[in-house]
Structure 1
Amino acid sequence: MIDHADNVFDLNAVLHPATVFEHPRDVVADPALSLSEKRAILASWASDAAAVTSNPALRELAGARRIVTIDEVLEALSMLDHKPSGPPGGKPMRQKSTSRVALAA
């Protein structure tokens, strides 16, 4: 798909991802693609241009072997996002209760 020696990218993958990939997870798993290329391909797949007229939650692209839901595309996009190692919001800064600190003074 990409010839890194010549810095050539197959635009068909971005414009018509279903002709190159069977499922959005295949885009995520492709080791030859950069993170930006994967995001561009999945964004193209998720675009309203691919939506089925009578059911916009479905994405059907020209040359596709099957219909893909928007949820499948968004799930693949979320797989590219960095996941925090700790709990949401990070570690709390306050270690002691403010009421106990006030009583100690």
Structure 2
Amino acid sequence: MLDHADNIIDLNAILHPGSVYDHPRDVIADPTLSIGEKRAILTSWASDAASVASSPTLRELPGSDKAVTIDEILEALASLDHHPKGPPGGKPVRTRSVERTGLAA
């Protein structure tokens, strides 16, 4: 997508991703795309505008003849997020029982 020697960006991949990518994993695997660009492409693919009329769980990008499931797209989007191993702030600790808290309200 980006020719580093000439600093030229292939806008076709951004504006018409169906002509470049066949599957969400192809978008994720493209090393020349930033995370924001990958997210934008996958989000446009997940949009209802890309849904197949006869099967709303499928999406097809303009310029592509292949359909993918919404689950494959959402899985690819989720892979872009870096989740912490534990909840923020550590493990929650209760100082009161749930029953006593409910009675106090």
TM over 0.5, shorter chain: yes
Q: Which residue in 1 is equivalent to 2:22? A: 22
- Secondary structure of 2:58's counterpart equals strand
> Aligned partners of 1:26 and 1:6: how far apart in 2?
24
Root-mean-square deviation over aligned CA pairs: 2.4
Write the mapping of 1:1-105 to structure 2, written as runs, cut at 5 A. Answer: 1-4=1-4, 8-86=8-86, 88=87, 91-92=90-91, 94=93
> Aligned partners of 1:97 and 1:23: how far apart in 2?
49
> Aligned partners of 2:64 and 2:90: how far apart in 1?
45
| Larger deviation, residues 74-83 vs 61-70 | 61-70
Q: How many residues align?
A: 97
**Identical amino acids, percent of aligned pairs:** 64
> Aligned partners of 2:61 and 2:24: how far apart in 1?
12
> Aligned partners of 1:6 and 1:49: how far apart in 2?
34
Amino acid at match of 1:36: G
Task: Give the C-alpha shift of residue 8 in structure 1.
Answer: 4.1
> Aligned partners of 1:80 and 1:28: how far apart in 2?
8
CA contact 1:15–1:44 (8 Å) conserved in 2: no
Task: Give the C-alpha shift of residue 34 in structure 1.
Answer: 0.8
Amino acid at match of 2:62: A
| Larger deviation, residues 23-32 vs 46-55 | 46-55
What runs of 5+ residues in structure 2 fail to find an aligned partner? Answer: 98-105
